[in-house]
Amino acid sequence: MYEKKDKKTAEAKTGLTSLAELGEFGLIDRLTKNVKYYHPETLKGIGDDAAVMDAGDKVILFSTDLLVEGIHFDLTYMPLKHLGYKAAVVNISDIAAMNGIPKQMTFSLAVSSRFSAEALDELYTGVIMACEKYKVDLVGGDTSSNIKGLMISVSILGEAKKEEVCYRSGARSGDLLCVTGDLGSAYIGLLVLEREKSVFQVDPNMQPELTGFDYQIGRQLRPEARTDIRNLFIGTGISPTSMIDISDGLASEILHICKQSGVGCKLFEGKIPMDEHTRELAKEYKIIPSVAALSGGEDYELLFTVKQEDYEKIKDIAGISIIGHMTAPSEGKVMITPDGKSIPITAQGWDGMRIR
C-alpha cells in the first residue's frame, strides 16, 4: 500500500524551501540579504516603493514592475487598452508614493503568436493614454517572443527634492495614520468580474451583467495614481513622515511601514473609508466590508503618516481620512473594532508567490 505524501512532507525530505512557504516578501529578503551598494549616489535600494539616487540638489527615483498573464491579469475580462493603461499607472503610483514626480518610462513585453499586431496596438494605446494624462515620457522598452501568453515589464524614473522625498521608514510613535480616497472597491470589482467569467464559461452566449458596478469595475480595470497628493501636501504645508501606495491591501501596507519604521500601530476599523455601495456588495458576497479594504488590494491610494501637530492642517481635507496612529513597537500592530476589541493586523492580501 502506498503512503500519500503531502507537499510539506515532500519538502521536508528534499530539504528545499518552497516559494509559497516563503511568500513574495520573504523571497525578496532571502534573495537580497547579501546585496551591497558600491556607489555613494545610491541613497536607498531595495525595500521601498522606489530606489533613490542622489542627483545633487534632488534625487532620482527608479521603480520597476512585472505583470504576467494568468497571475496579474486575466484577458477574459481585461481589455488590452485598459491593461496598458493600468500597467503604466501602477508604476506611476510607486513614484507618487515617494512624494515624487514621474518623468520617464520604459515598456517591455514578451508576447506569444496568438496576439496580432492590432491587439498590441490596443495595448500601447492604453500606455500612451496614461503617459499623456500623467505627463510621462515613454522613452523605450524591449519586445520578445513568448511561448504562451503575455508578459509585461515596466520601469519608471521620477524625481523629487531631497527634503520632500518620503520613505516607508520615517514614521514615529504618535504619528497619525492617514489614507487617501476609499478602499476595497477594486477587490469587489474583481469579484464581480470573476463571477461573470464563471457564468460565461458555463454559457458563452450569456451577456455579462455589469450594470450598477461601474465604480467597482473601473477601480479594478482602470485605477488612477494619486499624483495629486504631492501638490496637496505643498499647498497645506504638510510633510508626510512615511508613505506607501496600497497595492497589496491596507493591512500589508501598514505592516510594511511598521517594519521599516520600527513602530507599532493602532488602526480603527470604523475609520476605514469605503464607498457605501462597495460595503453593500461586500455583504452580498458574505465578506466583512473591512476585510475587502484590508486584504483586497489594487486600490492604489496612498497610505501615509504625519506628525500629530499637523492634525489641524489635515483633519478637514476632503478625500483624506485619519484611520489610526503609530505606537511604540511593544504595543503591537492592532486593529480596534467598533465594539472596542483589539485584533492583531495580519497580511492576507496579494502575494506574488502564492500557489494558484
CATH class, domain 176-344, is alpha beta
* % the chain with pLDDT above 90: 80
The band of 17, judged by pLDDT with boundaries at 50, 70 and 90, is confident
- State the pLDDT at residue 353: 39
**Distant-in-sequence contacts of 49-54, Cβ < 8 A, 24+ apart:** 49/94, 49/95, 49/97, 49/98, 49/168, 49/243, 49/244, 49/245, 50/94, 50/95, 50/97, 50/98, 50/100, 50/156, 50/158, 52/98, 52/165, 52/167
Convert the pLDDT of each residue in 92-119 to its tens digit. Answer: 999 999 999 999 999 999 999 999 999 9
Give the pLDDT confidence of 141-197 residue by residue, as tens digits. Answer: 999 999 999 999 999 999 999 999 999 999 999 999 999 999 999 999 999 999 999
**What residue ranges do the domains of the chain occupy?**
1-35, 36-161, 176-344
Residue of 78, 180, 89 lying closest to 132 (CA atoms): 89
Task: Examine the pLDDT at 65 and tell me if it is beyond 80.
Answer: yes
* Per-residue pLDDT tens over the stretch 263-293: 999 999 999 999 999 999 999 999 999 999 9
Residue whose cell numbers read 520617464? 104
The pLDDT of residue 199 is above 90? no
Q: What is the pLDDT of residue 26?
A: 76
Task: Write down the pTM of the prediction.
Answer: 0.90
Structural domain 36-161, CATH architecture: 2-Layer Sandwich (3.30)
> In the chain, pLDDT over 70 holds for what percent of residues?
93
